[in-house]
Amino acid sequence: MTAFNQEVVGDKATGVGPTRHTPIVDTTRSPHARLRPVGVSAVRIRDDFWSARLERNRTVTLPAQHAQCETTGAFENFRRAAESRSDEPFHGRYYSDSDVYKWTEAASWTLGSARDPQLEKQIADLVALFAAAQDRDGYLNTYFSVDRVGERWTDLPVLHEMYCLGHLTQAAIAHYRVTGEPSLLDVAIRACEHVYARFTPDRVPGACGHPCLEMALVELYRTTQEPKWLRLAQWQLDSRGRGVLGGNEYLLDHAPLRQQEFVTGHAVRALYLYAAAADVVLETDDPELRSVVDRLWSDLTRHKMAVTGGVGARWDGESFGDAYELPDRSYNETCAGIALIFFAWRMLLLTGEAEFRECLENALYNAVLPGLSLSGTEFFYQNPLADSGRHRRRPWFDCACCPPNIARLLASLPGYLYTTSERGIWVQLYVGNQAEIEIPDGGVIGIELATELPWNGRVELRVTPAEPREFSLFLPVPVRAELAGVTVQGEPIDHAATVTSSGYLEIRRMWQPGDVVELSFDLPVRYVSAHPRVASLHRRVALTRGPLVYCVEQVDHDVPVEDLWVSGREDWRERFDTSLLTGVMTLSTQAHAIEPDAGPLYRAFDPRRSPTTRPATITAVPYYAWANREPGAMRVFVPLLEE
C-alpha cells in the first residue's frame, strides 16, 4: 500500500494550470446537481495499481498514438486543409479529425497532472494547425476542405460533421481548463457559432448521426456561461424523431428522445446521447428528460449489460440487442464502455446514488481497461467474454476511435475520484492519491488516501483541514466487497448505522488536521449468475473478487478451457504473483473437466445422463489482463455441474 507523505498537491506542485478548477464535467454552478466536481489538477494519483498505468499512458501510449496519427495521415489532413492543397488526397475515414481531437484532449488532461514539455509543444503545434485549417466562417472539418466544400451538411446521418466538432470542443475545454490559454477554445467557439447559424434553434432542425456535440455544447455553456450553447444542445436533442436522420432507429431517430422507451441502436451513439440528456437535466431539471434518462438507465442496467459493464451485444452494427440478449461473445466495444462511464458519471452527479458509482467502477476495471494491452501500445475494439484464441489487440484500426478514447479517459481519471456537496467530501473511487479539495464553504481540505485495492481491502484516509472543521466524509461501500470494520483515529465506529440510503458510509465530525480513517473490506471470491432469461448463460457462472471480473485462459491449463466445469462450492486459493501480467492476484481451485466426447452434435435427451468428469485445476486471472500472453481460448462464464 502506498505510504502517506506530506507532499502538497496543487498548482505549485504540479506546475501546470492557473487553478485547481479542472473538472471533467463542471457542475459547480449546475442548479440541479447534487454533487460537484473535483478537478484533475487537484488530485495526484499515488497508487500501486494505477500510477504505472497513468505514467505509461503519458510516456508510451500518447507518443505511440501521436506517431499513428502522423503515419495514417490524420495530421496531414489538417496541413492539407490549412494550405489548400487540392492536388493531394484526403487520408483515412471521413471522421479521422476526431482521432486527433481525442488525442489532444488526452494530452491536455495529462498536463493537468504533470508537466511534459514534449506534450506541451505537440499540443501547441496542433492548436496552431487547427486554427490554420479553420474556414473564415468557423467551419472546420478536413474531409470537407479543399475539394468537398459543396458537400458540407448534405448527409447528417452518415458524415459525422457535428461529431467531429464535438470532440474538438471537448478537447478545447480540457485544454483551456488545464492551461488557462484560450486559443483552442476560440477555435471551438467559432466552429460552434457556425453550427448555431446553420441549425438555429426553433428554426432549422439539426442532429448528427453520431451524437457527441450535444455533450460538448453543455460543457461549453458551463465554461462560458453563454446560454445559447445550452439552448443549441437542447435543440439538437429535440431534433431527433423529426426525420432529420431518416427516422432510423439505429441512429436514435425513430421517435423523439422524450418518447423513447428503451435503449436501442448503436451503443456508443446511444450512450453519448443519453449522457447529453443527463447534462441538460443537470442544468434545467427538465421533468420529461429526467424521466427519459431514468427509464433508459433502468433498461440498460437491468436488461442489456454484460457482467463486465460491457454494452452493445450485437456485432451487427455495434448495437444493443433485445432485453437479455447477452451472448458471451457480445461485441462490447471499448468506446461503449467509456460512453457508459460518461452516462454513469452524470447520473451520479445528478443523484448522488451509489448505483451509478458502482456501474462506473465496474466499467472502468472490466469494460475499458481490457481495451488496452499491458504494454500500452495495443488495443481491443471489441471485448467478448469468450474467445477461441483468435481475438488479439492491435496497434491501431482503420476506424481508430477506441485507442485515443482510452487515452483520454485514463488521462482524466484523477477527476473521477472525488466529488463534494453542501455536507462534505465524497470519495468515489478507492484509488491511492493526494488531493486538495475545496468544499462549498470555501475551505480547502487535504486528503491522502492509501489503499491495497483492487487486490486487498485496506483503505486509509488522512484528512487535513487547515484548521478544525466540521463536515461529512462519504465513503462508498462497494457491492462486491464486505465492509468488515471502520475506525476513526483508531476508535471503531458502528459502520452499519452510518450507511446512508444513497449507499455511502457517512462520517460527520469536527475533523482535526491529520485525522485518520481506516477501512477494511473482505473481498470474497463470488460466483455470479445471470437472469434466467439470459438463455446463453443458463447454468453458467462468472467469477469476481472485489471490483474485478476474472476469466480462465488456455495458457494456464493443460485441458481445454471449454471443458472446465465448477460445482459452485469450490474453495479458491488466492495468490498474488508479482511476475505474472505485471502483478495480479490469481485464483485457483480443484474443480472438474469433462471427458472428451466424440459423440454426435445432437443426441436424444436423457435426464439421467450427465457429463463424465475428471478432476482438474482451474486458475483464473483478471479479465482486464487477458490476451497479453500466448494466444489461446478464454472464458469468463464457466458451466455448472448438474446437481
Active site residues: 318, 401
Residue identified by cell 449546475 is: 30
CB 172, CB 182: distance < 8 Å = no
What is the CA angle 407-409-415, rounded to 5? 135
How far apart CA 264 and CA 250 sit, in angstroms, is 7
Q: For residue 304, give the amino acid letter.
A: K
What does the block give as the cell for 611?
Answer: 457429463
Nearest to 132 by CA among 79, 198, 208, 86: 79
What is the CA angle 184-201-31, rounded to 5? 70
What is the CA angle 388-271-301, rounded to 5? 70
Nearest to 627 by CA among 458, 389, 460, 456: 389
Nearest to 60 by CA among 431, 432, 403, 433: 403
3-class SS at 162? Answer: helix
What does the block give as the cell for 324?
Answer: 437479455
What does the block give as the cell for 430?
Answer: 478507492
Cα separation values, 202 from 199, 221, 285, 512, 583, Å? 9, 18, 20, 55, 56
Cα separation values, 642 from 116, 539, 610, Å? 58, 9, 7
The alpha carbon torsion through 74, 94, 221, 248 (nearest 10 deg) reads -150
- b/e per residue 341-351 (b: at least 16 CB within 10 A): bbbbbbbbbbb
What is the CA angle 180-9-473, rounded to 5? 110
Q: For residue 384, give the amino acid letter.
A: P
How far apart CA 433 and CA 425 sit, in angstroms, is 15
Q: Say if strands 638-639 and 540-545 run parallel, antiparallel, or are unpaired.
A: antiparallel
How far apart CA 301 and CA 349 sit, in angstroms, is 18
HSE toward the beta carbon, residue 184, CA cutoff 13 A: 28
- For the chain, the first-to-last Cα distance in angstroms comes to 42
Q: Which residues are within 8 A (CB) of 101 and not within 5 positions of it... i.e. 6 or more apart?
A: 164, 167, 168, 170, 171
